[in-house]
Amino acid sequence: MDALLLARIQFAFTVGFHFLFPAMTLGTALIILISETLYLIKKDETYKKITDFMVKLLGLIFVIGVATGIVMEFSFGTNWSGYSRAVGDIFGPILAAEGVIAFFLESVFLGVLLFGRNKVSPGIYWFSAFLVFIGGHLSAFWIVVANSWMQTPAGYTINEAGKIVLGNFSDAVFNPSTVVRYVHTILASWVTSAVMLAGITGYYVRKGLHGETAKMMLKIGIILFALTPLLQLGAGHAHAIKVIDMQPEKAAAMDNLQADEDV
């Protein structure tokens, strides 16, 4: 195997492993927001216990996601240094926006969720859960923007040195596949977390652990898993149509189609 193939394998493993954790982060934040909202409305301690359990799980997922994400970021430079130099003017503002606007918002208020249960009012705690949810989904948006730009680039020019230069930030951000790819990704993360929650709590219920709390968590997981795939059917179809229209070669590769040499 040559160096290029090895680099691709290494990067595929890094990205594939890392992506599991942001996906679980987004859906877990949604479950926390749901349970904390129900606790705020119903004053039922069961929902409070669900939130506390999910916050601890989110903290673990978040830490592993950050650690693997750092490795992934460095892989851009080590594996694809030429490409990184070429698109740096595009990726720089996008990834900076992800860090400044979204990541710090999510991480700061995750700290409130982890350590502030008995230090802030119930309303502020709920608002922190809401901001963690918003911050995580904003972070995902900017990452999807970078990925979508690579798929359907827009808002750029190429100078005489062959470097890609940002021409219109809005066009680059909302390139032709950004919105449909973002919706598809978010729903996939919700499906992933619903399965994760149902799996964990299904085990608890089967073993008779954590009583009514486990049963309620399982109920939330099953309801979420029943609803999100239905939404994903539409989003996935819309995304597939976009790929077929704008990237027919990629769509053919996904469907394992072979080009007709006579055409």
Band of pLDDT at residue 257, cut at 50, 70 and 90: low
Per the structure, the count of domains in the chain is 1
What is the model's pLDDT at position 227?
95
Q: What is the pLDDT of residues 20-33, one digit of tens each?
A: 898 899 999 999 99
Complete DSSP assignment for 181-203 = HHHHHHHHHHHHHHHHHHHHHHH
Eight-state DSSP code of residue 102: I
Q: Is residue 187 part of a domain?
A: no
Q: Is residue 157 part of a domain?
A: yes
Q: Is residue 192 part of a domain?
A: no
Using the structure block, give the residue that is written with the tokens 């469907």: 255
Q: In angstroms, rounded to a whole number, what is the distance separating the alpha carbons of residues 135 and 139?
A: 6
Q: Is residue 92 part of a domain?
A: yes
Q: Is residue 212 part of a domain?
A: no
What is the model's pLDDT at position 258?
58
What is the model's pLDDT at position 11?
87
Average pLDDT over residues 137-154: 94
Q: Is residue 249 part of a domain?
A: no
Q: Is residue 182 part of a domain?
A: no
Q: Spell out the alpha helix ranges (H) of 80-121.
A: 81-97, 104-115
Structural domain for 156, as ranges: 3-175
What is the model's pLDDT at position 10?
87
Evaluate if pTM is beyond 0.85: yes
Q: In angstroms, rounded to a whole number, what is the distance separating the alpha carbons of residues 223 and 235?
A: 19
Average pLDDT over residues 138-151: 94
Band of pLDDT at residue 262, cut at 50, 70 and 90: very low
Q: Is residue 169 part of a domain?
A: yes
What is the model's pLDDT at position 233?
94
What is the model's pLDDT at position 77?
80
Q: In angstroms, rounded to a whole number, what is the distance separating the alpha carbons of residues 228 and 194?
A: 9
Question: Closest Cα to residue 50, out of 71, 33, 66?
Answer: 33
Q: In angstroms, rounded to a whole number, what is the distance separating the alpha carbons of residues 136 and 58?
A: 11
